[in-house]
Chains A and B, each alone.
Chain A
Amino acid sequence: DVKVTQSSRYLVKRTGEKVFLECVQDMDHENMFWYRQDPGLGLRLIYFSYDVKMKEKGDIPEGYSVSREKKERFSLILESASTNQTSMYLCASEIRTGSSYEQYFGPGTRLTVT
């Protein structure tokens, strides 16, 4: 079974703090993604990475950065947390087989910024 793990299920941080969210997958997948999920808005893509040290902006990258130093690990960084970044953060890794795609999600990190 594919396993995607995230460093914390619940996190509370103060405004202005630097926040690191870690994601690890154990299936040697090349592609990894960070989303945030907010009620009524669905999942929105923040950043993704298709290889080590490669990253690309998603739809809402402002206020975030990412790091992919090893294939299995993809980190999301909030440089200076703000209250509007309170959200559920979901990491995913993806396998592609021919024309077939499948994303596996981690359990999520519910971040509250006070």
Chain B
Amino acid sequence: GQNIDQPTEMTATEGAIVQINCTYQTSGFNGLFWYQQHAGEAPTFLSYNVLDGLEEKGRFSSFLSRSKGYSYLLLKELQMKDSASYLCAVQERSNDYKLSFGAGTTVTVRA
């Protein structure tokens, strides 16, 4: 099984940078996903990390350290529309169809 931990809430100012951490303990790890979910809407895919290191996609970057069981999502040049919940999800090695989600981090961007 998986044990996935991420902060419940974070607040930041427009234009700033925020880093959302996700730690996991797992019996078998294949990869890690980040999703964005605006209130009342479906989650949308942001990133998928399999290898250690940083992957950058525009204002969003995702980092993975497999040995430390740690990932973070970095949001740069924050905009008001980035106010949302960010979900970390771990993919099992034994059954890569199965994702285990963290409870999500609600990010509030203030002007």
* A interface, CB within 8 angstroms of B: 4, 31, 33, 35, 40-45, 48, 50, 56, 58-59, 90, 94, 99-108
Contact = CB atoms under 8 A, between A and B. Distances in A.
Contacts of B102: 42
Contact of B98 (A4, A58, A104, A107): A58
B99 A56 contact: no
Contacts of B89: 43
Nearest to A105: B42
- Grouping DSSP codes into helix (H, G, I), strand (E, B) and loop, the B interface class, with mixed when no group exceeds half, is strand
Interface residues of B, number: 22
B109 interface: no
Given A103-B45, A106-B42, A42 B50 contact: no
A50 B97 CA distance: 8
B91 A108 contact: no
B45 A42 contact: no
Nearest to B44: A105
Q: Top 10 nearest A-B pairs by Cβ distance?
A: A105-B42, A42-B101, A43-B101, A42-B103, A105-B43, A102-B45, A107-B42, A48-B97, A42-B102, A40-B103
B104 A42 contact: yes
Contact of A90 (B42, B96, B98, B104): B42
A43 B103 CA distance: 7
B41 A41 contact: no
B31 A101 contact: yes
A16 B87 CA distance: 33
Contacts of B60: none
Of listed A4, A43, A50, A105, residue having the most chain B CB within 10 A: A43
Contacts of B98: 45, 48, 58-59
B99 A45 contact: yes
Of listed B45, B50, B97, residue having the most chain A CB within 10 A: B97
B70 interface: no
Contacts of A35: 101
